[in-house]
């Protein structure tokens, strides 16, 4: 049994772009600011969890840290259009200048907005992230799977089909979705991959007035250069795609090392985990669930590999029924599983 993934069957690009675009209800324990494009939820003094409202495709969450003299952002969203919207949303909560942008990793839904930030904004990321963004990230399998020409055509075709089948009460919403998606794809066409100008290999501490901001590379997991941003006084960590409330995408991952990397995260004194997608996490037990999942997934694939089975049979043999808390959040597409299993076979063949 293949676990259902977070992808629409014929609209992979659309799924990644909008699956996390609408913010969940904000908890009563925090304040929030609603703008035209974002909900900015204050999770600690001056620390805002930024999620899209759905009016613009943002693709991922961001963290906005308003310091005494300036602003630091973590992740720049999925496109120049989305990053521009984020900058405008931040202007609704502060007039302090944005001086620093941190990339948690190189994936397009977190770093395609980098080009919007000028020379007066320093971009920080792992050296692996810089290497990937200096390459040709828009030609890599992950980008092509989710946002390449075929994926874009599929997304729009699915929406057009939905429009054709909709009754009068549903047409306006679908027409709005089509307009948002077309705007998103137009912005993707303008992307110029922009790498970090400053890199780290293990850790980097930033002092922003009285605030300490720590950047840590805990090991390879979702990619070869995942960075978490930790605010020790506030007990807040932004984990990017290393940890969020649904199952991880492993198409560029190191599934064999993922669990050990997550073990390092347990050493942090954390009250709030802000992931790259989905809602906030307040229970460190989510780390255990993800560890169990990636370990099981890797083990099943390795057993098929060791038995000499082709990728197709390895996929057919998968059983993730033990993880209903992930399955409940996923929408379905075996194509992503195919990318992930092929990546694991590559690792088992000795590939980096």
Name the average pLDDT for the chain: 90
What is the dihedral sign for C-alpha 271, 26, 109, 251?
positive
* Per-residue confidence band for 13, with pLDDT thresholds at 50, 70 and 90: very low
pLDDT 10s digits, 24-56:
333 345 689 999 999 999 999 999 999 999 999
pLDDT 10s digits, 252-297:
999 999 999 999 999 999 999 999 999 999 999 999 999 999 999 9
pLDDT 10s digits, 308-321:
999 999 999 998 88
CA 98 distance to own-chain centroid: 21
pLDDT 10s digits, 328-346:
444 346 678 889 999 999 9
CA–CA separation, 212 and 13 (whole Å): 37
Q: How confident is the model at residue 327, as a pLDDT? A: 60
The structure's pTM equals 0.91
Long-range contacts of 37-42 (CB under 8 A, 24+ apart): 37/85, 37/86, 37/88, 37/89, 38/85, 38/86, 38/89, 40/64, 40/89, 40/90, 40/92, 40/93, 41/280
Which residue, 183, 25, 193, 41, is CA-closest to 107? 193
Task: For 51, list phi and psi in degrees, rounded to 5.
Answer: -130, 150
Q: How confident is the model at residue 17, as a pLDDT? A: 39
* Per-residue confidence band for 324, with pLDDT thresholds at 50, 70 and 90: confident
Q: Do 317 and 307 touch, CB atoms closer than 8 A?
A: no
Q: How confident is the model at residue 83, as a pLDDT? A: 98
Angle at the Cα of 59 (from 57 to 60), degrees rounded to 5? Answer: 135
CA–CA separation, 50 and 31 (whole Å): 12
Which residue, 255, 264, 190, is CA-closest to 227? 264
Angle at the Cα of 239 (from 6 to 208), degrees rounded to 5? Answer: 145
Alpha helices, DSSP H, located in 135-284: 141-147, 149-165, 168-188, 255-265
pLDDT 10s digits, 62-81:
999 999 999 999 999 999 99
Angle at the Cα of 276 (from 215 to 279), degrees rounded to 5? Answer: 120
- Phi-psi category of residue 209: left, alpha or beta, with phi > 0 → left and psi -120 to 50 → alpha: left
Q: How confident is the model at residue 336, as a pLDDT? A: 86
pLDDT 10s digits, 97-120:
999 999 999 999 999 999 999 999
CB-CB neighbours of 223 under 10 Å: 25
Q: How confident is the model at residue 268, as a pLDDT? A: 98
Q: What percent of the chain has pLDDT over 90?
A: 84
What is the dihedral sign for C-alpha 132, 138, 139, 141?
positive
Whether residue 251 is predicted with pLDDT greater than 80 in this model: the reply is yes
């Amino acid at each position: 049994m293949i676990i259902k993934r977070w992808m629409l069957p014929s609209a992979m690009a659309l799924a990644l772009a909008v699956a996390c675009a609408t913010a969940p209800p904000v908890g009563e324990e925090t304040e929030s600011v609603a703008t035209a494009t974002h909900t900015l939820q204050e999770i600690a003094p001056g620390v805002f969890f930024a999620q899209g409202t759905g009016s613009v495709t943002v693709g991922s969450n961001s963290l906005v840290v308003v310091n005494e003299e300036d602003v630091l952002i973590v992740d720049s969203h999925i496109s120049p259009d989305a990053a521009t919207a984020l900058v405008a949303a931040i202007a609704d909560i502060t007039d302090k200048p944005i001086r620093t942008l941190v990339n948690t990793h190189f994936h397009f839904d977190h770093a395609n907005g980098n080009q919007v930030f000028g020379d007066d904004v320093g971009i920080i990321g792992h050296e692996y992230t810089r290497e990937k963004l200096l390459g040709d990230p828009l030609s890599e399998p992950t980008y092509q799977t989710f946002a390449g020409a075929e994926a874009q055509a599929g997304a729009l075709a699915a929406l057009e089909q939905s429009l054709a089948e909709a009754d009068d009460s549903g047409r306006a919403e679908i027409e709005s979705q089509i307009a948002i998606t077309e705007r998103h794809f137009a912005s993707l066409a303008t992307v110029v991959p922009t790498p970090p100008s400053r890199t780290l290999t293990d850790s980097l501490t930033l002092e922003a007035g009285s605030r300490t901001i720590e950047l840590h590379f805990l090991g390879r997991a979702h990619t070869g250069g995942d960075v978490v941003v930790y605010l020790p006084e506030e007990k807040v960590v932004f984990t990017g795609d290393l940890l969020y409330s649904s199952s991880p995408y492993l198409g560029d991952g190191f599934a064999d090392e993922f669990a050990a990397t997550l073990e390092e995260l347990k050493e942090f004194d954390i009250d709030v985990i802000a992931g790259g997608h989905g809602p906030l996490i307040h229970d460190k037990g989510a780390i255990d669930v993800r560890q169990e999942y990636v370990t099981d997934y890797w083990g099943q694939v390795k057993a098929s590999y060791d038995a000499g089975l082709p990728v197709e049979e390895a996929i057919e043999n998968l059983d993730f029924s033990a993880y209903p808390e992930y399955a409940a959040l996923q929408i379905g597409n075996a194509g992503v599983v195919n990318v992930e299993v092929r990546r694991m076979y590559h690792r088992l063949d000795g590939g980096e």
